[in-house]
Amino acid sequence: MILPINLKMTKSKLVISSLLGGALLLCFSATTVAQKKEIQYKVEASAQASSESTLPFWLVSNRNGIIPDKKSERLYLGFNKNYNRNEVFDWTLGADAAISSGFHKTALVNQYYIGLKYTKIKLFLGAKNPEIDLDGLSFTNGNLIMAGNARPYPKIEIGSIDYINVPYTNGWLGVKAVLSNGWLLDDRYVSHVNLHHKNFFIRFGKEKGFSLEAGIDHYVQWTGISPVYGQLEGGLKAFAKILIAKEGAVLTTSNGGTSRNEADNSLGNHIGQNQVKLNYNLNKFSVSFFMKNMFEDRSGEVRKIYNVRDIYYGLHLKLHQIKIVKSILVEYYSSLHQGSDEIAPDGSVCGYDSYFNNSIYRSGWSNYHRGFGLPLNSPSTINDDNSIYFLNTSMKAFNFGFTGAYKKLQYLFKATMYKNYGQVYPVVNDKSLPIEDWTVRKEFTVDPQEYQKHFLLELSLPQNKIPFDISASFAYDSGDIYKENFGLMLKISRTGFISNMLKK
């Protein structure tokens, strides 16, 4: 959520923001006296510049939507208190704000949250950036659907913060799950949209040695007010439908037009991912191999999973006793299939997902004009009515990165390369045949394909002899989609505990 000083907020947005702000202040007031030492602060000043009018890809993408696309300067202030996982009962809270010349010099509030936990069960309220996964080397942050590319959205969530061991299994079997509902508060084509999320994961094996994890993430954009169809289904009955991906009603327009999108598929805009992960953890090193596939609407049903061909693979190696190279990651992603090739009785071809786009929720899988998911699928068209279209949804992509330290100097490098096919569309080979004998082939909107490369090198010196951290990020783009572009981001920051600051 953004709260610019001059933002015109609807009544519902004000209510949600007021509740969150009041709860946050109450929690902060009640707990800071007793546990000031656990609350950290961060103050940061940064500047970004480039050889072109816009910044290179990796200076903007997967940074939680807070870096403008163009050259800018930014001042940031934040505080947070994390869970102590060794405590039976504990709490978390945080908030941050930034002023950026690239966002018309308005104050932006990106995070604001509170949470409670008992053992491994949590209750959470607010908006929080996703945790950085895979040591910041990934082009997905380990998540095809929520990659940390857009601003976070406020939600109420209950779930587990880690795997909970199943009784009588001696730690060999664990489960974790989350259930939440949130609100998208930006200016959207469909206003007042809710965003539901749930997941369930199971782990076979202990933390040391071999273990196997498998699970599913499921998100749904639902309800809201459409400029075409009016009020969309909402309330408890609609929530029960989206929980189990049940179909909705036929939608009608003011002039009598209809849409069977939700009646033939499911109520709301469903998107998700299945995951399998194999781990091998030892004291000296750990290695993980993981595989995920993305689905939309009914293409994610178990009975259709055999037809899944769009796959994301990753191999991650962590070296626990070597400083010069601490972590290495290799990733590959292909999204050329985009669902099934179903031919309906009326001769229409269906089953193509067109990832991140939706014909009803026309702002797509985005928040504040930034895509939630894999940033390579960037919004290509943003219209005045806040409808958004992702044009480059079919691609093959490769990413390689490593990180480590030489003495006090820490570094991170990653290289991302991909071939863009645009969008896939079906072509019937011979329509003169009876419909039951039709065959379908796939063609793409970009032919010949476009090639693109993005590089990032980050160097940082942590505060030691000097009272602040210094970091520099160098980025370079080259290819058919983005012009050749060099960019630089400089940051100076200081972190510490509020209690230590008050003593001085």
Average pLDDT over residues 418-435: 84
CA distance 387 to 61: 21
CA distance 504 to 498: 10
pLDDT in tens, 158-199: 999 999 999 999 999 999 999 999 999 999 999 999 999 999
pLDDT in tens, 49-73: 999 999 999 999 999 999 999 999 9
CA distance 4 to 73: 17
CB 250 within 8 A of CB 257: no
Helix (H, G, I), strand (E, B) or coil at 379: coil
The token pair at 319 is: 């070296």
pLDDT at position 1 is: 37
The pLDDT-based confidence of 453 (bands split at 50, 70, 90) is: very high
- Report which DSSP code applies to 53: S
pLDDT in tens, 313-340: 999 999 999 999 999 999 999 998 887 6
Third-level CATH fold of 11-503: Porin (2.40.160)
Average pLDDT over residues 239-267: 87
CB 175 within 8 A of CB 200: yes
Give the DSSP letter string of 330-350.
Answer: EEEEE-SS-EEEEE-TTS-EE
Domain boundary assignment for the chain: 11-503
pLDDT in tens, 2-34: 343 333 445 445 545 554 555 455 445 444 444
pLDDT in tens, 338-374: 876 666 666 565 667 889 999 999 999 999 999 999 9
